[in-house]
A and B are shown apart, each in its own frame.
Chain A
Amino acid sequence: HSATSCFTGGEYGKKAKKKSAEVDGEGSAVEEKKMVKSELAVAFPPTFSVSEIKNKQRRHFMFMKLKQEKRKQKMQLRKKRRKEREALGDKAPPKEVPKTIENQRVYDETTVDPEDEEIAFDEGTDEFSAYFNGLTNPKVLITTSDRPRGRTVRFCEQLATVIPNAHVYYRRGLALKRIIPQCVARNFTYLMVINEDRQVPNGMVLCHLPNGPTAHFKVSSVRLRKEMKRRGKNPTEHYPEVILNNFTTRLGHTIGRLFAALFPQEPHFVGRQVATFHNQRDFIFFRFHRYIFKNEKKVGIQELGPRFTLKLRSLQKGTFDSKYGEYEWVMKRHEMEACRRKFQL
């Protein structure tokens, strides 16, 4: 009621009276709220958050104190748990598996089930079926973008030693669409174009030839042979084995088959060489090793050959045609990389 008195006395006049009436109503409402709040406040201890302190030094100090408290509690909890585990000894519950991104991966509905008949049928009739039925032998043409510089050239040469039946050709500024019919005429099964930027390879277009899909990758972390530590001698002419790890989804399956068809079907086990394409979180790591079995439990591997990582950017049906091609899958960063636990391959 003290609120009403200070409004009526003074400059406002008649309007003030009306206003004071409204204010009165509001004032009483506010007072009621305050009463309610104070009741609530009485129920719990008064809490305040650290962020409400205006003074930076004090706020920082309180925050540090808060963190220390939390840490202390965490340590106490840990100690307690450890004591319990030791006390129980053998009967202790098994250690919990820590969460990793792979554990928490969002389930992809296109994950391939090994017994799926539809997929088996698809794979029996897709563009790679000719290779997997043993009808064609892989023959790879490796080339670069215009005017390649030293590193890219050396990378192409090393790739040609790693992939059997591969030939490197200098790209004389020719259009890919003109190269492809010539390749098909000479029975090539793969066209690999290494794109270069600032003297370093940074992209790869892998085109399966008769009329197969074209994949465009981003290439990163290229290590040539002489940059590798503890590497072995140069790879021999034996056909290497192929390891494809973690290609789980439908898209991953297609890409896996794309890589598998680069190498001949019958690997020479005598050569003891293995090429690995390992997919982890949508990055495909390529490694080339020579292995030796010391006994049945241990194998030693020695890295030879170049290593690089690939990241799939787009998969296009049919041979290379960037304007009119039909894209099966394109990397759309905002949609696909929004969730950290969702992967495409």
Chain B
Amino acid sequence: MQHDDVIWDIIGNTQFCSFKVKTKSQNFCRNEYNITGLCNRSSCPLANSQYATIREEKGQCFLYMKVIERAAFPARMWEKVKLSKNYEKALEQIDENLIYWPRFIRHKCKQRFTKITQYLIRMRKLVLKRQRKLVPLSRKVETRERRKEEKALIAAQLDNAIEKELLERLKQGTYGDIYNFPVHAFDRALEQQDQESESEEEEEEEEDDEDVGQREFVAEEEVEESDLSDFEVTLLSNDQQGATEKVESERSRNEEEDEEEMEVQTKASRSKGKSPANGSAARKKRAYVEIEYEQETEPASKSRAT
């Protein structure tokens, strides 16, 4: 009925076929009923009266056969046979439907059917494995969060916080006897001699001794210490600042007094208590020398001591 050769002559070689896709090495056929996907004389669904394909819909495979008598009604031209889900039974169905059909079409149909079942099996397996969930990122949200992070980093003042924490731990004696800073006691004396009485200094020394025994689990304690709310921390820091300011102002007043009195005081504070380590001896010499020469260098040494 249909002149297959004429059709092929037109669409295959000379004129235009809208389903043909040309590449450098090969021609492909985009027709959905094509059995191999290539543009060939024997694979073209338009240029063959006797043609069959396997197509798959939602996991179900169908055998489509072209009934050339209905070429005038393209919508009803293809006959559909549902294939069984069992692989062997489906192959038998293909054989029995395409009995007496050319070998090429039978073979290609079975090949295509095999490929389809294989990819359906793989799809089912993949669903059982880990699914990757893609979470969309909103650009606005991301930039906002990045900015917040930068601001938080600046507000955190990490280095200061870490240093403060470490110094506090040292003060409370979590490190035990590893660090001997015997000048510790003398420094504290220097600081507090202008402000407080000696009894308070003794109390503080006793407290240190007690703490050394009590600290056990470092990790746990840290959580509790940092539970100070931010309010308390800022208030404390304000107090400390106020204290240091007072000390400095008193220091400046002291400079105007007799230098001899200063020497006497410093010597007296050092002679009490533990034996000085090298640091304090050097400091003692240094103070003496500086007092001899000029007054201006004194404030520098004082600020270093505090």
Interface residues, chain A, CB within 8 Å of chain B? 94, 97, 100-103, 105, 111-114, 132, 173, 175, 220-221, 241-248, 253, 256-257, 260-261, 263, 265, 267, 269-270, 274, 276, 278, 280-283, 285, 287, 289, 291, 293, 295-297, 299, 301, 309, 311, 333
Task: Indicate which residue in A101, A114, A263, A301 contacts B155 across the interface (CB closer than 8 Å).
Answer: A101
Chain A residues, CB < 8 A from B179: 293
- Asked whether, in the complex, the Cβ of B219 is within 8 Å of the Cβ of A260, the reply is yes
Chain A residues, CB < 8 A from B184: 296
- Asked whether, in the complex, the Cβ of A301 is within 8 Å of the Cβ of B226, the reply is no
Q: A97-B238, A267-B218, A309-B149 are in contact. Are A296 and B227 (CB under 8 A)?
A: no
Chain B residues, CB < 8 A from A283: 148-149, 152-153
Chain B residues, CB < 8 A from A173: 130
- Asked whether, in the complex, the Cβ of B187 is within 8 Å of the Cβ of A296, the reply is yes
The A interface, classified by DSSP as helix, strand, loop or mixed, is mixed
Chain A residues, CB < 8 A from B183: 295-296
Q: A220-B146, A283-B152, A311-B145 are in contact. Are A301 and B227 (CB under 8 A)?
A: no
Chain A residues, CB < 8 A from B178: 269-270
- Asked whether, in the complex, the Cβ of B145 is within 8 Å of the Cβ of A242, the reply is no
Of the A-B pairs whose beta carbons lie under 8 Å apart in the complex, a sample of 26, sorted by A's number, is: A103-B231, A103-B234, A132-B217, A241-B218, A244-B219, A244-B223, A246-B226, A248-B226, A248-B227, A260-B219, A260-B220, A265-B218, A274-B162, A276-B165, A278-B161, A280-B153, A282-B152, A291-B166, A295-B181, A295-B279, A296-B167, A296-B171, A296-B184, A297-B306, A299-B163, A299-B166
- Tell me the nearest residue of chain B to A281, going by C-beta: B152
With A244-B226, A287-B158, A296-B171 known, 12 other A-B pairs at CB within 8 A are A113-B227, A114-B227, A175-B130, A243-B166, A260-B222, A265-B219, A267-B219, A276-B165, A280-B153, A283-B149, A296-B183, A297-B167
Chain A residues, CB < 8 A from B176: 269
Task: Indicate which residue in A242, A245, A281 contacts B218 across the interface (CB closer than 8 Å).
Answer: A242
Chain B residues, CB < 8 A from A175: 129-130
The A-contacting residues of B in range 128-183, CB under 8 angstroms, are 129-130, 141, 145-146, 148-149, 151-153, 155-156, 158-159, 161-163, 165-167, 170-171, 175-176, 178-179, 181, 183
Q: Could you give, for residues 80-91 of chain B, a 1 whenever the CB lies within 8 Å of some chain A CB and a 0 otherwise?
A: 000000000000
Which of the four size classes fits the interface of chain B? 35 or more
Q: In whole angstroms, what is the CA distance A113 to B228 when docked?
A: 9
- Asked whether, in the complex, the Cβ of B158 is within 8 Å of the Cβ of A285, the reply is yes
| B230 close to A (CB within 8 Å) | yes
- Asked whether, in the complex, the Cβ of B161 is within 8 Å of the Cβ of A245, the reply is yes
Task: Indicate which residue in A105, A132, A285, A296 contacts B170 across the interface (CB closer than 8 Å).
Answer: A296
- Asked whether, in the complex, the Cβ of B219 is within 8 Å of the Cβ of A263, the reply is yes
Task: Indicate which residue in B152, B162, B181 contacts A243 across the interface (CB closer than 8 Å).
Answer: B162
- Tell me the nearest residue of chain B to A267, going by C-beta: B218
- Asked whether, in the complex, the Cβ of A285 is within 8 Å of the Cβ of B153, the reply is yes
Task: Indicate which residue in B155, B163, B306 contacts A280 across the interface (CB closer than 8 Å).
Answer: B155
Task: Indicate which residue in B130, B149, B167 contacts A220 across the interface (CB closer than 8 Å).
Answer: B149
| B252 close to A (CB within 8 Å) | no
